[in-house]
Structures are given as C-alpha cells and as structure tokens.
Structure 1
Amino acid sequence: MSHSRFNVTLLLLIALLLACPHGAQACTGMRVIAQDGSVAFARSLEFGFPSKSDIMVVPRGMQWTASAPDGKDGLQWTNTYAFVGPNAFGLNRPLEGMNEKSLYVAGFWMTTGETNFPKVNPADYPKAISQLDMCAWVLSNFATVAEVKKGLSKQKLTGVTLEAMHTTPLAHWYVMDKTGKAIVIESIDGKIQFSDNPVGVVTNAPYFGWHLDNLRNYINLRPANVEQFKLGEYTVRPLGEGTGLLGLPGDMTPPSRFVRAAFFANIAIQPTDADSAVTLGMNLIANFSIPRGITSSVDSEGKRGYDYTQWTTVYDLSRKALYYRTYINQDYKVIHFDKLPLNGKKQHTIPLWGVKPTYEDVSQKTQ
C-alpha cells in the first residue's frame, strides 16, 4: 500500500472511530514477574465495533514511513528487529506487539480532549512520528526501555489531526523490556513525559500520574480477610471471603480498572517460572473481560453501541511467545518467535478475527 493511500484509509477509519463514541475506552494491561525473573504481560482490547484484527508478522528490513500533520510524510526508517502484534481494521500498523529482543509496547486510547500532542513545525516533519506509528517505530528499532527513551528524545512525536472533526485521536503507551522495567509515555500539555511504572499496570484516561495518586484512596485494602470485632454488644462477623478487599471498585471505568489491576497483579502469589507467569497472566486478565452488553453508549444518530473485549493477549517476554484468544474463541492459541519467518521482504498475517473455536470432545475419555 502506498503511503498516500495508507494515509487516506487511515484517516477515514479513524474518523469512523471518532464519529462513534464506542471506541477503545476499556483496555487493561498487567505485568507479571516470576521468581526466576521471567516476565509476562497480559492485555485486553475493547472496542464498540468490530476491530477485525489479525496478527502481523513483520520480518527485519521492512521499510516504513510515518504520518506527519497536514497529510505529509514523516520519519522514514527500516526496521532492525522483527516483531509480531495485532493490527486493526486491516491496517499495516500494530496496536501493540513484541519484538525479537523481547521489547513490548502497547497503545492505550485516551479520551479525546484529555490532553494534546506537541506541535511540530513543517521543517521537523522528516523527524515526526505520529501517534498512529508509535508502536511500529518502537518495535522496529529498540531492545530496551532505556533505548526507547533515548531514541524518542531525538524525534518529534505528533498527533495526526482530523480537521473535519477538529480533533486528534489521543493515546499513551506502555513500554516494557525483558527485565520487567516498564514506563508510560504520554504527551501532557504538549510535552512528552516518561513515567516509571512501579505497579506494572495501565488502563486509559486520565494520565498515568493521576492513577498512581488515586491508589492512595484505597490504602486500606489488603488481601487478608478482616477479623470479627465487637461493635458495642454486637459481634460483627465477616460474611465470607474477600473482606480485606471490601471497597475495591468493580465498575468498568479506567480508574476503577486501574485500581483492581494494580492490586490483583501485585498481591497475587508470585509465580515461580515462565509457565506459571503466563498462567497467572491469563487468570488475572480474565477478571477484566467485558461481555457484550455490559456497557453501552449512544452515538449522535441515536445508535446504541456496546464496548466489549474483542481479544486478549498474553506475552511471554522470556521465551518470546504470544498467546491470544478472542471473544468468540476462548481457547488460547500460541505463536513462537523461533518458528516465524523473521527475514525476508514480505510481511505475513496470522488470522485472529472470526476464527471459530474447535472444542475437544472428551466424551469417550471416561476412566
């Protein structure tokens, strides 16, 4: 696809996303670090209309051209590292992914108007990377969080604005390397900020620092159950399990999901190795799955949409594997890096969207 044609298609699809209030407002990501140092990351992707995602398999040596404002070309590069990750709407851009150096990056959509991207002068367009190119650029070029921070400081992050709608799709990014070190990259009031992520989780709006401060409202939460106590002459006894987490927010808003994810990911019993890290990641992220119909909104034409979990991914950074499942196919599939074509001049895709489950029939395996 030519860059000009890509830009037109991309803008049309983003216009569709912005015209409909049922966008990706409920994504959640969670880190797991095992006792042996193995690292996994689990993420859910929510949209209010079909993303039709497939897994991109991008070998080394592919040519890229970023988008700049005013429909112009931005930074051009050749990817040093191969990577895999899901796209959306059939576009040649990943929403997240992991490269052959076990660097992971994911974009998490923010509410439009929450903040703004830096302004870039036309003279700087050759160094410009739009928010839509961020994941591909990071996966193509870097092996560690430190390299990403250094590399981005030399470029110009910008937002592609849709003049017809007077708005710019907003996002922030979670970046993590194989050591488990994680940062969040954001544009706050037109300035790029890097924030260390000590809890290893991420959701959507507002900005990351706000989410960390908000954890102070839940300082009383503990995994241990509360003991019974005397209230006057009456003995107050716990109803059952979970009294230590009474007050944990259960709604689907980004702040509430962040609090739940931060507690779940950091109080769960630490796994011992990569296998158990992946298993824990799968179990943790299952708590954030949104069935279709649980949340809804109405667009400007009165049409109701339902934000729901369209796919879930779990990345094994230690052994370079990607596990994924979809709304209609709850059986996890796995992609191993060492079995992929990492050299060559052609990108590949692995079907994700619309693949129906095949349930194993164990009726005849009675013992």
Structure 2
Amino acid sequence: MCTSFTYVNQDFYFGRNLDLDCGFGEEVVITPRHYPFTFHHKETITNHYAMIGMATVIDNTPLYAEAVNEKGLGMAGLQFSQNAVYFPYKEDQDNIASFEIIPWILSQCETVHQAWQLLEHVNILDIAFKKSVPNSPLHWIIADKEQAIVVESVQEGLKVYENPIGVLTNNPPFDFHRLNLTQYLNLTKSYPENRFDKSIDLKPYAVGMGALGLPGDASSVSRFVKTAFLKHNLYSDGTESDNVQQYFRVLQQVAMVKGTVMTDKDTMDHTLYSCCINATKGIYYYTTHENAAIQKINMHDQDLNDTKLVQFALNRQPEIF
C-alpha cells in the first residue's frame, strides 16, 4: 500500500509513502545519462536523461519504485492488486515490462504531455524480471510542475487519466477515487458556521470542526481523501525547508504505524520510507521507519555524464537530538 502526491510552491515536489510488510533492498539510486538502459523488446538506450529515486538494484539494473529525472518529470508505481492486468507481446506496440516502464518514460520524456504521447503505443508486458523477482501489480502516477496523470493497465487495456487532484493511492481504480471525493465536498479548513438551523444556537466547541468527517483510517480510499484535503489546504512560506517539512507532515498523516495494519497473511504493513523529491532541483529527501530525521541527496553533486549507477544505502540508524 502506498500514497503519492504532487506539490508546487516555487519549485515542484513529488514523492510518496511506501508501505509494505518487509523491505525489498531499497536504496537511493542515481542513474547517470550514459548508463545503458536495457529492455526486453526495445533497443538499449545509452544516452538519456539522468534520474534519481528509490530502487532495488539487481544484476546492475535499477528497479525503481519512484524517480524524477533531471527535467523535473516524476513517476511512481503504487500497488494495484486485483485490478492490474499485464498482457502478452503485441506486434504493433511498444512492449514494455512493468519494471521497465519508469526508466522507459523518464529516460525519454521532459513533460507529462510527452509521456502521454509515448504511452499511446505502450503495451505492459506480462513478464517478470526473473523467476525470483515476480511481477508486482501496479498503477502509476506521472507528474511535472504543470499536470499529473494516472496510468492503469487493466483488463480493458491501458487507461490514462488526467489527475487534477495530484494524488494517488491504491485500489480501487482512479476513476472511483475521483468520484468518491464528491462525498467530501462540504469539508473545509475554515472555522465552521451553523448551517444546521439558524434558529438553534449551535457553535463549534473546538477548532478543526470544519473537517469533521475527514477519514482517518489506513484504507486506500481514506488515504486518498485525506491526502487530497491536506495537500490542497496546507500552507508553506515557499522556502525549501518549509516546503519539504510540510510535505513530510502530509505524508506522516497517512503513514502506517507498525502493528496497526495487518495483511491477509497476518504480517504488518507499515511505512518503510517516505520521500519528498524537489524535482526542480533534483534533490531527494527521505525518512525511514527506523529514522525519522530527513536525509538529503542531490543528484547534481554527482557526475551525471557517467555510465555507472550511484547507490546510497539508507541511513536507518535512529537519530534523536
């Protein structure tokens, strides 16, 4: 389970919570411009946009959970169990595996508009990276400073949705989440007035009552609504430090506390890490379940014209000041 959202205040920010019952060897990975991206059914790309994100590196291949490229385009894959459907090879399309789709898009595209055009020819292949690394059922959010879209490979084929909300969680499909928001159109950050009956003296007994009914459970539908409300009502003074801290505060509001969300296998889903990426400047900020201190990695501190991956092990050591 996961939550992702976009935020624009001076710069463009993109990130997510990643919620699972166990780690997957994740680390922050920078892919420079001349690292060779190989694909099962497409030619190797050796000259492309550099990118930074969280990935598992297997056989020198970065399997990105999310990333942004040097042009400010971001993309994240989120769990989409029960609805994700991948397909056999199709002769007339770009056949891209689910684990290849993030580098396929971010290596070539500067904007959401370009990504959408590329997706018109994509077929998500039903193949695994290797036998020991099975496919994950995913859908994706792609965003730049101007717009966001959601990509879902379902039984009917590949669907792309405009996403003016700038939020994505998990099941159900995105069109349900957007419709479901209409049930909460009366929520407000403002101090509420009495709309029940003016003849009855009803007054709020506490601040925050304008948002009574805002969901607080860990389900994907509730996290979508809560994240959308917080994102569209948060205040930041526009500085980098305040933007980043406010972004993480939203993620904290929808994070999973270990022990409070059990899976059908009786394991504990929890937020493994949270990230906020300044996509404008290529700066990756993250926290982990073990370490709530914000860590920072700038992709432009590295040689982006290199051919080798740059990998950063996560700092999981608790830091209490």
TM-score by length of 1: 0.79
Larger Rg: 1
Matching residue of 1:33: 8
Matching residue of 1:12: none
Matching residue of 2:105: 138
Instruction: Name the amino acid aligned to 2:313.
Output: P
Kept in 1, the 8 Å contact 2:30–2:299? The answer is: no
- Quote how far apart the aligned CAs of 1:49 are: 1.5
Q: Structure 1 residues 231 and 195, CA, compared in 2 at 3 Å: closer, same or farther?
A: closer
- Deviation per residue, 1:306-341 (Å, 9 max, x gap): 000010100112222110110111111111122012
- Quote how far apart the aligned CAs of 1:180 are: 3.5
- Deviation per residue, 1:80-138 (Å, 9 max, x gap): 01111111475631111111111111001111x324234433x468x311111111222
Matching residue of 2:51: 83
- Quote how far apart the aligned CAs of 1:263 are: 0.7
- Deviation per residue, 1:34-74 (Å, 9 max, x gap): 1x4x21123110111122311111111222233xxxxxx32
Instruction: Name the amino acid aligned to 2:79.
Output: W
Instruction: Name the amino acid aligned to 2:275.
Output: T
Q: Are 1:216 and 2:182 counterparts?
A: yes
Q: Structure 1 residues 298 and 188, CA, compared in 2 at 3 Å: closer, same or farther?
A: closer
Matching residue of 1:114: 83
Q: Structure 1 residues 320 and 290, CA, compared in 2 at 3 Å: closer, same or farther?
A: same
Q: Structure 1 residues 62 and 50, CA, compared in 2 at 3 Å: closer, same or farther?
A: same
Query: 2: CA distance between counterparts of 1:64 and 1:336?
Result: 22
Query: 2: CA distance between counterparts of 1:207 and 1:298?
Result: 21
Matching residue of 1:315: 277
Moved more, 138-147 or 230-239: 230-239
- Matched position secondary structure for 1:64: coil
- Matched position secondary structure for 1:285: helix
Structure 2 residue runs without a partner (length 5+): none
Query: 2: CA distance between counterparts of 1:234 and 1:155?
Result: 60
Q: Structure 1 residues 136 and 327, CA, compared in 2 at 3 Å: closer, same or farther?
A: same
Matching residue of 1:172: 139
Q: Structure 1 residues 134 and 43, CA, compared in 2 at 3 Å: closer, same or farther?
A: same
- Deviation per residue, 1:241-288 (Å, 9 max, x gap): 211111111111111100001111012236435443223212211111
Kept in 1, the 8 Å contact 2:248–2:276? The answer is: yes
- Quote how far apart the aligned CAs of 1:196 are: 1.3
- Quote how far apart the aligned CAs of 1:202 are: 0.8
Q: Are 1:305 and 2:275 counterparts?
A: no
Q: Structure 1 residues 234 and 40, CA, compared in 2 at 3 Å: closer, same or farther?
A: same
Matching residue of 2:28: 55
For the aligned residues, what is the CA RMSD?
Answer: 2.5
- Deviation per residue, 1:6-48 (Å, 9 max, x gap): xxxxxxxxxxxxxxxxxxx2x11122111x4x21123110111
- Matched position secondary structure for 1:199: coil
Q: Are 1:294 and 2:263 counterparts?
A: no
Matching residue of 1:11: none
Moved more, 93-102 or 224-233: 224-233
TM-score by length of 2: 0.89
- Deviation per residue, 1:181-219 (Å, 9 max, x gap): 111111233322221111111111111111000011112
Query: 1: CA distance between counterparts of 2:280 and 2:182?
Result: 33
Q: Are 1:279 and 2:245 counterparts?
A: yes
Q: Structure 1 residues 200 and 270, CA, compared in 2 at 3 Å: closer, same or farther?
A: farther
Instruction: Name the amino acid aligned to 1:206.
Output: P
Query: 1: CA distance between counterparts of 2:158 and 2:41?
Result: 18
Moved more, 209-218 or 262-271: 262-271
Moved more, 340-349 or 275-284: 275-284
- Superposed, which structure 2 residues align to 1:1-367 within 5 Å? 25=1, 27-34=2-9, 36=10, 38-66=11-39, 73-78=40-45, 79-88=47-56, 92-111=62-81, 113-121=82-90, 123=91, 127-160=94-127, 169-177=136-144, 179-227=145-193, 235-269=201-235, 271-299=237-265, 304-352=266-314, 355-360=316-321
Identity of aligned residues (%): 25
Instruction: Name the amino acid aligned to 2:69.
Output: N
Query: 1: CA distance between counterparts of 2:92 and 2:21?
Result: 36
Q: Structure 1 residues 160 and 276, CA, compared in 2 at 3 Å: closer, same or farther?
A: same
Matching residue of 1:21: none
Query: 2: CA distance between counterparts of 1:54 and 1:332?
Result: 15
- Quote how far apart the aligned CAs of 1:227 are: 3.2
Q: Structure 1 residues 155 and 41, CA, compared in 2 at 3 Å: closer, same or farther?
A: closer
Q: Structure 1 residues 172 and 298, CA, compared in 2 at 3 Å: closer, same or farther?
A: closer
Kept in 1, the 8 Å contact 2:36–2:307? The answer is: no
State the number of aligned residues. 315
Q: Structure 1 residues 202 and 232, CA, compared in 2 at 3 Å: closer, same or farther?
A: closer
